[in-house]
Amino acid sequence: MSARTSSGSRGAPSTPSRTAIRGLPPALLAAAAVALASAAEPRPQSQDEPLRAWARAHLAELVDVYREFHAHPELSQQEVRTAARLAELWRAAGCEVTERVGGHGVVAVIRNGPGPTVMLRTDLDGLPVTERTDLPYASRETAAAAGGGQSGVMHACGHDVHMTALVGVARFLAAHKDRWRGTALLVGQPAEETLIGAQAMLDDGLFTRFPRPDVAVAQHCDAALAAGKIGIRAGFTLANSDTVDITVHGRGGHGAYPHMTLDPIVQAAELVVALQTLVSREVAPTEAAVVTVGSIHGGTKHNIIGDSCHLQLTVRSYSPAVRAHLLEGIERKAKAVAASARAPEPTVIVGTGTPALENDAELTARVEAAIRRVLGGGSVEPAEQSMGAEDFSRYGVAGVPILMYRLGTVAAPRLEAARQRGEPLPALHSAEFHPDAEPTLETGVVALGTAAVELLR
* Total residue length of the chain: 457
Cβ neighbours of residue 341 closer than 8 Å, sequence gap 6 or more: 250, 262, 263, 266, 267
CA distances from 183 to 34, 110, 115, 170, 449 (A): 41, 6, 7, 12, 14
The predicted pLDDT at position 221 comes to 98
Tell me, yes or no, whether 234 lies in a domain. Answer: yes
15 in any annotated domain: no
The contacts of residue 91 (CB under 8 Å, 6+ apart) are 97, 108
Please check whether residues 349 and 447 belong to one and the same domain: no
Amino acid at 344: P
Sequence-ordered list of residues with C-beta below 8 angstroms from that of 321, at least 6 positions apart, any chain? none
Same domain as 378, residue 339: no
The DSSP secondary structure of 156-196, one letter per residue, reads: -SSHHHHHHHHHHHHHHHHH-GGG--EEEEEEEE--TTTT-
Please list the residues that pair with 109 across neighbouring strands.
Answer: 96, 185
Active-site annotation, residues: 125, 192
Are 115 and 215 in the same domain? yes
Looking at the structure of the chain, the number of domains it has is: 2
Do 350 and 409 lie in a common domain?
A: no
3-class secondary-structure state, position 304 = strand
Claim to verify: residue 265 and residue 296 sit in the same structural domain: yes
Max CA pair span of the chain: 116
- Flag whether 434 is in a domain: yes
How many Cβ atoms are within 10 Å of 101's Cβ, its own excluded?
22
162 assigned to some structural domain: yes
Domain boundary among 327, 354, 381: 354
Can you name the residues that pair with 127 across neighbouring β-strands?
154
368 in the same domain as 225: yes
Pairing of the two strands 308-317 and 240-249? antiparallel
Spatial separation of the C-alpha atoms in residues 211 and 25, rounded to whole Å:
60
| Three-point CA angle 277, 280, 284, nearest 5° | 125
- Assess whether 222 and 80 both reside in one domain: yes
For residue 276, give the CATH number of its domain.
Answer: 3.30.70.360
Q: 219 with 162: CB under 8 angstroms?
A: yes
pLDDT at 149: 86
The answer to the question of residue 19 being in a domain is: no
Whether 323 and 425 share a structural domain: no
**245 and 233 housed in the same domain:** no
pTM for this entry: 0.86
| Single residue among 354, 381, 399 that ends a domain in this structure | 354
Do 214 and 259 fall within a single domain? no
Contact between 439 and 228 (Cβ < 8 Å): yes
Q: What is the structure's pLDDT at 299?
A: 96
Sheet containing 240-249: give its strands across.
289-298, 308-317, 240-249, 347-354
Instruction: Please list the rounded mean pLDDT of every run of 10 residues in the chain (457 residues).
Output: 35 38 39 36 51 97 98 98 98 98 98 98 98 97 88 98 98 97 98 97 98 98 97 97 98 97 98 97 96 97 97 97 98 98 98 95 98 96 96 98 98 92 94 98 98 97
Q: How far apart are CA 91 and CA 94, in angstroms?
A: 5
pLDDT at 22: 39
- Whole-number pLDDT of residue 49: 76
In this structure, the answer to whether residues 348 and 366 fall within a common structural domain is no
Burial class (CB in 10 A: 0-12, 13-18, 19+), 281: exposed
Which residue, among 103, 102, 98, 97, has the nearest Cα to 78 in the 3D structure?
103
Of 315, 335, 354, the position where a domain reaches its end is: 354
Distance CA(120)–CA(456), nearest Å, equals: 12
Q: Which domain holds residue 95?
A: 49-239+356-455
Using CA atoms, how far apart are residues 83 and 305, in angstroms rounded to an integer?
48
For residue 25, is it within any domain? Answer: no
CB atoms within 10 A of CB 199: 18
Q: What is the pLDDT of residue 145?
A: 83
Residue 346 has a CB neighbour count (10 Å cut-off) of: 25
Q: Residue 32 domain-assigned?
A: no
Strands 235-238 and 308-317: unpaired
Cα–Cα distance between 424 and 146 in angstroms, integer?
A: 29
CB atoms near residue 229 (< 10 Å) = 22
128: CATH: 3.40.630.10
In whole angstroms, how far apart are CA 10 and each of 3, 4, 5, 7, 32? Answer: 8, 8, 10, 9, 22
What 178-182 contacts at long range (C-beta under 8 Å, 24+ apart), as own/partner pairs, is: 179/47, 179/50, 179/453, 180/112, 180/115, 180/452, 180/453, 180/456, 180/457, 181/112, 181/113, 181/114, 181/115, 181/456, 181/457, 182/112, 182/113, 182/114, 182/115, 182/116, 182/117, 182/118, 182/456
- CA gap 101, 91 in Å, rounded: 16
Q: Which of 161, 209, 164 is nearest to 185 (CA)?
A: 209
Based on the domain organization, do 264 and 220 belong to the same domain? no
- What per-residue confidence (pLDDT) applies to 148? 81
Which residues, including other chains, have CB under 8 Å from residue 121's CB and lie 6 or more apart?
166, 186, 187, 188, 189, 216, 217, 218, 392, 395
> Could you give the CA distance from residue 93 to residue 87 in angstroms, rounded to a whole number?
10
Helices and strands counted in the chain (H then E): 13, 18
In a domain, 38, yes or no: no
Contact 165, 444 (CB under 8 A): yes
